[in-house]
Chain A
Amino acid sequence: MNVDVLNRSGVQPAATSKLAIADGDIHPRPPGVGIGGVSKALYPYLTKQWREHVEAFGITYRQPWEKGSAYPKGQPQAARRDAWTPGGGSPGSDLAFMQKQHLDPNNVALGILNPLTSGQGAQNPDLSNAICHATNEWQKADWTGQDSRLKASVVIPYEDAVASVKEIELRANDPDFAQVFLLSKTSEPLGQRRYWPIYEAAAATGMPVGIHAFGNGGWPNTAGGWASFYIEEMVGHGMAQQAVLTSLILEGVFERIPNLKVVLIEGGLAWAAALGWRLDAQWKKLKQELPHLKRAPSEYIRTNVWFTTQPIEEPEPRTQLAEVFDWIGWDRILFATDYPHWDYDDPAHALPLQMTEAQRRGIFQDNAKRVYRV
């Protein structure tokens, strides 16, 4: 959690895990510039026109600040204070350091890369497309090409379905890519028609669609207006993910594309049981409005949706988490750390639960292998 570590110079020793794990949420970051800017590491993959555009105008989102995100984080780049590279580089910007600090000691056998500074949701749609494409090339060159444990996410300019489908198809047969990557805050709720071609294209490749917290859709982040605080934004990602899942289910996305796999990332998961009960209760009364749904809404969660664990909810006593996993289904749950961010969940400590060997293996490795087909 949010601990200031005095010795920031070197690698902090981590407890080694015997069990090889899959980590469903690792954030690589192009070195150099903060969120909202464009790193020079992407320049080799941008045309001259876009390099010049970036240098003349920068990149802007539906939020106020030139540098940084809408709500100031709890600490720089929302990162663990010990995750800055020895040379002072951004957390997540150096593979060798990530290997030493995270991948090796935690015995990460499969790490899913989810780049967040990739132009998704940028105001200029063509720039968004260019930066997404460059980010995918950069992931291949600097990450998956260097460490076979890592798999990239296809970042797409999701507000432009045509461009997104093109980018997905470009990566369809590339084993370096394991999922198609979206953010949760979009121009419209993600179940709506404009996004369907993205889901069709993703399902055709066999890759799941990962929907990660954050984004700049431009709408107030609560139904009662803009929250004031970063803590509200962070807690609110749980509500946004509930709304995303509600939209996907009720719009009939899983009826239309039965082989679509959706992974909800960094929005929590304990809420999924109660959301399913609420959806089912209302659907029973209102289903005439939704004739395209052939099954109770909660059933789609059991067949088409997975959840990454971090930030795992922390009940007192922790055993109550197991009750919720029973309700949701242990096969739906994918372990994730969110490295290198401040609210990183340590695989040795994040799930202090009595689990069967099968349940433990499922959450820490097998479920991910099935979803990501590795």
Chain B
Amino acid sequence: MASQVVIDCDVHPTVPGMKALLPYLDDHWREAVVRRGIDDQTTISYPTLNPLTFRSDWKDATGKAATSVAMLADQALDPFGATFAICNCLYGAQAAFSEDLGVAIARAVNDWIALEWLDRDPRLRASIVVPQQNAERAVDEIERVATDNRFVQVLLLVGSELTLGRRQYWPIYAAAERLGLTIGIHAGSMFRNPTTPIGWPTSFTEEYVNQATGFQSQLTSLITEGVFAKFPNLTVVLMESGVSWLPAYLWRLTKFWKGLRTEVPWVADPPASIVRDRVRLTLQPFDAPPAGRGDDGGVMRLMDQIGSDEMLLFSTDYPHWQFDGLAAMPAGIDATLAKKIMADNPLRTYVRLQQPTTVV
């Protein structure tokens, strides 16, 4: 249906290499990148040669996908009928050990996204890539880019250097709240810490499965440090986090909050109610229960356990391989809920989607 609003809250333009960003680097970094042979800053969170990174039927001759606006439109925007799609560019800025290099890549990526993606398709929106190494410089970048309101969110990686609730990061949250941006936390890592809570994994599968435990601990950190109390108008979106872990996690968190809330007296509301009010999750991957025996396969039971129909935001996670064909909506989700996921929930989450663009 052409009139149906569909907002795809997680797509990933692929940076072909540092060469593509050269025009967006300052003189120092343009020279350094060439002279030092800094050819590519693709991280191993999404290795080029990995079945998950590029779905096989979406790959071009170079073995990549999402390398151009045309490709994104043909493979994701058109087939899924996107009214808007939010670009989350995952390209190494946060993982650079030099914060100066991090700043340079973040600035270049944001300017590249604006000129080579947002300008070329009116359906596209984006998250602001920030140098996660340093909150002060992240705020500088947010303020620089946010004047363009096609940028609707601040992008952070779940595998941070310090837990994201810590007070060092609060200037980022203050800036986002002030400017009407959500905080989008995406799978991926700065590689300052092992990618599991018990040490370094040995396989990509192990690392990727553990992204979900990373989201669970970051949510715990944001809640217990008091971020939601301090910034009452801030919304946090968990992207590519998986979904089905949420109820069991909230039950455990709530139990310990009941027992230990004197340690964090500023957490005045039950954590589950904070999460239902202030946290959203993109749909893919959903990690659904297996299809059931004549019933809904457990998906609607899981939705009952989550206890809200306002938390999920439609996403394809294009070009990552989370599903085949067009099956982005998990089986078992009814039509009413599907509409909320595709349209109502994203529109309410991203206030900038409903504003006229500030770019002519």
Contact = CB atoms under 8 A, between A and B. Distances in A.
A243 B197 contact: yes
A223 B193 contact: yes
Interface string B227-253: 000000000000000101101110111
A227 B256 CA distance: 15
A224 B214 contact: yes
B255 A313 contact: yes
A357 interface: no
A49 interface: no
Contact of A243 (B196, B247, B264): B196
B221 A278 contact: no
Contacts of B165: 228
Nearest to A298: B290
Interface in A321-360: 321, 323-324, 327, 342-343
B298 A315 contact: no
Given A184-B198, A279-B209, A286 B204 contact: yes
A280 B206 CA distance: 12
A286 B321 CA distance: 10
B163 A239 contact: no
A166 to B, nearest CB: 25
Contact of B217 (A239, A274, A286, A311): A239
Most chain A beta-carbon neighbours within 10 Å: one of B197, B247, B255, B321: B197
A235 B285 CA distance: 23
A311 B252 contact: yes
B259 A1 contact: yes
Nearest to B253: A235
Nearest to B51: A285
Interface residues on A, range: 35 or more
A229 B264 contact: yes
B203 A234 contact: no
Given A238-B252, A311-B255, A74 B262 contact: yes
B67 interface: no
Contacts of B192: 225
A268 interface: yes
Nearest to A285: B51
B23 interface: no
A313 B259 contact: no
Contact of A235 (B189, B202, B208, B256): B256
Contact of A288 (B51, B197, B200, B256): B51
Most chain A beta-carbon neighbours within 10 Å: one of B198, B264, B298, B304: B198
Contacts of A273: 244, 248, 289
Contacts of A312: 255
A368 interface: no
Given A231-B257, A323-B301, A327-B289, A282 B199 contact: no
A271 B162 contact: no
B213 A223 contact: yes
A31 interface: no
A2 interface: yes
Interface string A227-248: 1111110111011101110110
Interface stretch (A121-129, A187-195, A256-264): A187-195
A281 interface: yes
A271 B305 CA distance: 13
Most chain A beta-carbon neighbours within 10 Å: one of B160, B220, B305: B220
A91 interface: no
A229 B301 CA distance: 33
Given A223-B217, A288-B51, A236 B160 contact: no
Contacts of A247: 196, 198, 201, 206
A331 B175 CA distance: 51
B244 A278 contact: yes
Interface stretch (A36-44, A131-139, A142-150, A214-222): A214-222
Contacts of A268: 248, 252
Given A239-B213, A246-B206, A223 B242 contact: no
**Closest 3 A/B residue pairs (Cβ):** A270-B248, A313-B251, A222-B217
Interface of B: 50-52, 158-166, 189, 192-206, 208-214, 216-218, 220-221, 224-225, 242, 244-245, 247-249, 251-264, 285, 287-290, 298, 301, 304-305, 321
